[in-house]
Amino acid sequence: WPLSDIKQIHFRRFMMRSSAIEVFFRDRTSILLNIPNKKARMQLVWKLTSLQTVNQGLSLSDIRPPEVLVRRLRLTERWQRGEMSNFDYLMALNTAAGRSYNDLSQYPVFPWIIRDYSSKWLDLQSPKTYRDLSRPIGALNEKRLRHFIERYESFEDPTGRIKKFLYGTHYSSAATVAYYLLRAEPFASVHVLLQSGKFDHADRQFHSVGDAWNSCMTGSGDVKELIPEFFYMPEFLTNHNGLNLGKKQDGTRLGDVKLPPWAATPEEFIHINRQALESDYVSATLHKWIDLIFGYKQRGAEAAKAHNVFYYLTYEGAVNIDAVQDPMERASIESQIHYFGQTPAQLFTQPHPAR
């Protein structure tokens, strides 16, 4: 890329270390660079922002902490005034919070919006069509939530290192991205890597939107949210590469993703899902989900009240990996962080305003 094409530079975490930068270019491409030496990282950023070919409107002072960046760009105010769509606002928050298409362990996270995957026709004017955005996925099923709470209240780590948690899995992880994007490269290869060199059993793969939702409502270890592709990319729902994904237990060969009755084609599914995301109902309640993922209910006492507490290693600052001396323990922690989820940077410490 020509240096003159650099549009933005953001500091990034990588494997829970503040060791990376992400460079965004004017052609909408980007690159993530991990630079373990903090001094070298700062020198590179200083050099890039000081070059005459780069610093047209870009300076070191523009590279700010996530919560400061959101305020400086007045993202929330622009969204409230209707200058940004719900999709664009969520993408902007994801970017500010360190989520990146270049890091599967910190991939952009989007909410499940629709809860009805069995009706032939979908009424986007009815509140019954929509998921409750004020609660995390793990708290939407009261019966399952009681099980999580019982485990939470009885949990005690004899070492005192592991804090109580409701959910042992996360709403966003490299495994989640590989699960949803199984039919597209390079994600198919990532999936095979995660499954020790082969595709997982067909029944456990992403084969039906409705079944995926049901699993997130009832599975003891499934609290996945969605990824942005559910709102703009119909191609990921078809097996256009002709991958041999195996057969389910009932003998059905896995191919394209099974769509809900209200969507005849992948394009229609994406269109309706995007309509739902931009609906008046979601516009009026989306701030409640933002509180959970990026806001004041992300951690601490408010997270506990909202049943929004995840395994301690998913949170920024939970562990100093460089201080871990035991090689096996360090490898275990790094594997957990890389494959099983990281919570975004916290952008808001007060309730997010409604639109």
**CATH code of the domain containing 224:** 1.10.1540.10
What's the half-sphere exposure (Cβ side, CA atoms, 13 Å) at 107?
A: 26
Q: Are residues 197 and 323 in the same domain?
A: yes
Q: Are residues 47 and 150 in the same domain?
A: no
**Domain residues for 193?**
127-340
Q: d(Cα 193, Cα 176) in Å, to the nearest integer?
A: 14
Q: Are 351 and 297 in contact (CB under 8 A)?
A: no
Residue 83 lies in a domain: no
**For residue 60, pLDDT beyond 60:** no
57: domain CATH number is 2.30.29.30
**For residue 205, pLDDT beyond 60:** yes
Last residue of a domain, one of 11, 37, 63: 63
Q: Are residues 58 and 143 in the same domain?
A: no
**For residue 85, pLDDT beyond 80:** yes
pLDDT on residue 338: 82
Composition of the chain by helix, strand, coil, percent to 5: 45, 10, 50
Last residue of a domain, one of 37, 63, 89: 63
Taking residues 240-258, report their average pLDDT: 91
Q: d(Cα 243, Cα 45) in Å, to the nearest integer?
A: 42
Strand 6-14 relative to strand 30-34: parallel, antiparallel, unpaired? unpaired
Q: Are residues 189 and 312 in the same domain?
A: yes
Q: Are residues 241 and 323 in the same domain?
A: yes
Residue 240 lies in a domain: yes
Q: From the centroid of its chain, how far is CA 123?
A: 27
pLDDT on residue 17: 87
Q: Using pLDDT thresholds of 50, 70 and 90, give the confidence band for residue 54.
A: low
pLDDT on residue 48: 84
The pair of three-digit structure tokens given for residue 349, joined into one six-digit string:
């410490």
**For residue 112, pLDDT beyond 90:** yes
State pLDDT tens for residues 18-39. Answer: 899 999 988 989 999 999 998 9
Nearest to 22 by CA among 348, 345, 352: 345
The pair of three-digit structure tokens given for residue 149, joined into one six-digit string:
């709470």
Helix axes 86-96, 280-293, angle to 10 degrees: 10
**For residue 173, pLDDT beyond 80:** yes
Q: Are residues 316 and 175 in the same domain?
A: yes
pLDDT on residue 59: 56
Q: Using pLDDT thresholds of 50, 70 and 90, give the confidence band for residue 317.
A: confident
Residue 353 lies in a domain: no
Residue 85 lies in a domain: no
Residue 94 gets which letter from DSSP? H
Q: How many domains does the chain have?
A: 2
pTM for the structure as a whole: 0.93
Q: Are 112 and 97 in contact (CB under 8 A)?
A: no
Nearest to 226 by CA among 164, 283, 289, 320: 289
Q: Using pLDDT thresholds of 50, 70 and 90, give the confidence band for residue 192.
A: confident
